[in-house]
Amino acid sequence: MDRKIKLGIIIPILQLVISIIFLVLIFKLDIIPNKYLIPMVIVLFALEVLTLYTHLSNKGEKLGKYIAVFLCIIMVFGSYYLYKTQVVLKDISGVNIKVNDISVIVMKEDPAQSIEELTDYLFGIQKTIDRENGDKALHKIREQLGTEVKVLTFNDFDTQVGALYNGEIGAILINEAYRDTIVETFKDFNDRTRVIESYRMESLLELATSNIKVIEDSFNVYISGIDTYGPIRNTGRSDVNIIATINPKSKYILLTSTPRDYYLPLPISRGMEDKLTHAGIYGIDVSIGTLEELYDIDIDYYVRVNFTTLEEIIDALGGITVYSQYEFSSGGYNFKKGYNDLNGKETLAFSRERYSFVSGDNQRGKNQMEVIKGMIKKATSPAIIIKYNNILNSISGTFETNMSLEEITSLIKMQINDMSPWKVETNSVVGEGARKSTYSYKSKPLYVMIPNVDSVKTAKEKINKAMEMGR
């Protein structure tokens, strides 16, 4: 009898241990509202008492054993997903660094195969653009070679790359964030050159500290979309520039799109204008500062998304529905005027296209906001629960934010608490195309968009109205 009693308490003890682990993870993640959490604790306690009673009293022992085993399996899986959620959210949240990859580039036919073979080479670097990172890379090269290196400075990329091409210098130092810009002029750059060494430079983002209570106060989030391969934390041109004004009390979101070619002064350019997309090369903090100045607002947070992996997120959501103002084709897909149900690949084609429209990049910005609207609608619906694991897998490494883990979980908790839908509206600023010299590429005029003052003024008013709504 004593032996039977001892065996009888093994399952209740196992159930108790798993229940405690499960509840600790729930409390630690803090995304379950009390109206669900308290009944959950009561039910788990009652089931533990029931299991213990059935095993010790021999009344319904078999049924109690089945219930206990089933409950333990459910809680083990639940604990796994809770832990996985916390790991993913920690990975994407609280990011306050920017990463620059500085490459030492030689001609493809150059006989040198390592940095140690470049002792007698003349290195070409930019005189002012990204000079800080260039100097850091030169310092690392000197350490590796154990000697001083010969350096020639250039005022622009055209003369720097041209000097490499014609043999005036043996190697150049280039921030990989500029590669796409260089390729626009030197179409054969990737084919004619190769990277012999690369140095990773990390630095802190220069962002103001936010004192926002995200479930009570209105706030602005800068959504930056990079359309390139590589780590999400690397600096690079931002092709998507959207400010999300979020009012949690009114459950209202205003998306304001700014064209990538908008011609604006950067915080670091001493008044000289540049394309908005180029601001991202210097870090997302420079993009934020540029937009804060344009709209005369504070941007409290940022979210950086890699659009090359957007299709994975969309497919994890089970597809989205977007509205198209026009009928057009892109990437082998046809989009009708009106609502379209899209999978990941279709969404990527829809959000990238600009040549099918008279307004070009302006319309692309509107389509990108439609994609975000579709994602918000799907992500805040109850149906999201059954796709939870796929979504966790898709977002890891595809976007990052400076919002803290606690701020993210408090927003999730608020949404779970009522599951009420959000109203999402959009607005875009416009401008006129022109060709101008830019801060990042002074040697030749590039296509830019001169801001339309009236549309910017309207955008400011709408953002302020959204911030004040419900007060």
Task: For the chain, 471 residues long, give each residue's pLDDT as a single digit of tens.
Answer: 455 555 567 888 899 999 999 999 999 999 999 999 999 999 999 998 988 888 777 777 778 788 888 999 999 999 999 999 999 999 889 888 889 999 999 999 999 999 999 999 999 999 988 899 999 999 999 999 999 999 999 999 999 999 999 999 999 999 999 998 899 899 999 999 999 999 999 988 888 888 899 999 999 999 998 866 666 778 888 989 999 999 999 999 999 999 999 999 999 999 999 999 999 999 999 999 999 999 999 999 999 987 767 788 899 899 999 999 999 999 999 999 999 999 999 999 999 898 999 888 889 999 999 999 999 888 887 777 777 777 887 877 778 899 999 999 999 999 889 888 899 999 999 999 999 999 998 888 999 999 999 999 999 999 999 999 866
Tokens of 299: 């941007």
Helix (H) / strand (E) containing 81: helix 61-92
28 C-beta neighbours (distance < 10 Å), count: 11
Beta strands in 51-182 (DSSP E): 97-107, 122-126, 150-154, 171-175
Identify which of 237, 347, 360 has the alpha carbon closest to the alpha carbon of residue 287: 237
Helices 361-379 and 310-317: crossing angle, nearest 10°?
40
Would you say 193 and 144 are in contact if contact means Cβ atoms under 8 Å apart? no
pLDDT at 442: 85
DSSP class of 262: B
Would you say 280 and 286 are in contact if contact means Cβ atoms under 8 Å apart? yes
179 contacts: CB under 8 Å, gap ≥ 6: 189, 190
128 C-beta neighbours (distance < 10 Å), count: 12
Point out which residues pair with 448 in neighbouring strands. Answer: 434
- Would residue 419 be called left, alpha or beta, if left means φ above 0 and alpha means ψ between -120 and 50 degrees? left
pLDDT at 44: 94
Using CA atoms, how far residue 331 sits from 84, 323, 327, 373, in Å, is: 35, 18, 14, 22
How far apart, in whole angstroms, are the C-alpha atoms of residue 16 and residue 242? 48
The architecture in CATH of the region 219-468 reads 3-Layer(aba) Sandwich (3.40)
How far apart, in whole angstroms, are the C-alpha atoms of residue 328 and residue 89? 37
Helices 34-57 and 10-29: crossing angle, nearest 10°?
170
On the question of a common fold for 99-203 and 219-468, the answer reads: no
Would you say 133 and 177 are in contact if contact means Cβ atoms under 8 Å apart? no
pLDDT at 232: 75
pLDDT at 67: 86
List, as own/partner pairs, every contact residues 290-295 make where C-beta atoms lie below 8 angstroms and the sequence separation is at least 24, other chains included: 290/264, 290/265, 290/266, 291/222, 291/241, 291/243, 291/258, 293/264, 293/265, 293/267, 294/258, 294/262, 294/264, 294/451, 294/456, 295/243, 295/256, 295/456, 295/459, 295/460, 295/463
- Would residue 83 be called left, alpha or beta, if left means φ above 0 and alpha means ψ between -120 and 50 degrees? alpha
Would you say 208 and 220 are in contact if contact means Cβ atoms under 8 Å apart? no
pLDDT at 122: 97
Point out which residues pair with 263 in neighbouring strands. Answer: 275
- Please list, residue by residue across 168-179, b when 16 or more beta carbons sit within 10 angstroms of its beta carbon and e when fewer do: ebbbbbbbbbbb
Task: Give the 3-state secondary structure of residue 428.
Answer: strand
Q: What are phi and psi of 341, to 5 degrees?
A: -90, 120
- For the domain made up of 99-203, give the CATH fold: D-Maltodextrin-Binding Protein; domain 2 (3.40.190)
Check the CA dihedral 182-186-187-191 and report its sign.
negative
70 contacts: CB under 8 Å, gap ≥ 6: none
Using CA atoms, how far residue 199 sits from 42, 103, 104, 182, 203, in Å, is: 56, 6, 8, 19, 13
Rg of the chain over Cα atoms, rounded to whole angstroms, equals: 27
Strands 423-428 and 252-257: parallel
- Would residue 270 be called left, alpha or beta, if left means φ above 0 and alpha means ψ between -120 and 50 degrees? left
- Would residue 360 be called left, alpha or beta, if left means φ above 0 and alpha means ψ between -120 and 50 degrees? left
What is the residue whose two structure tokens read 């190769």? 194
pLDDT at 25: 95
How far apart, in whole angstroms, are the C-alpha atoms of residue 258 and residue 287? 11
Domain-by-domain residue ranges, the chain? Answer: 2-81, 99-203, 219-468
pLDDT at 1: 46
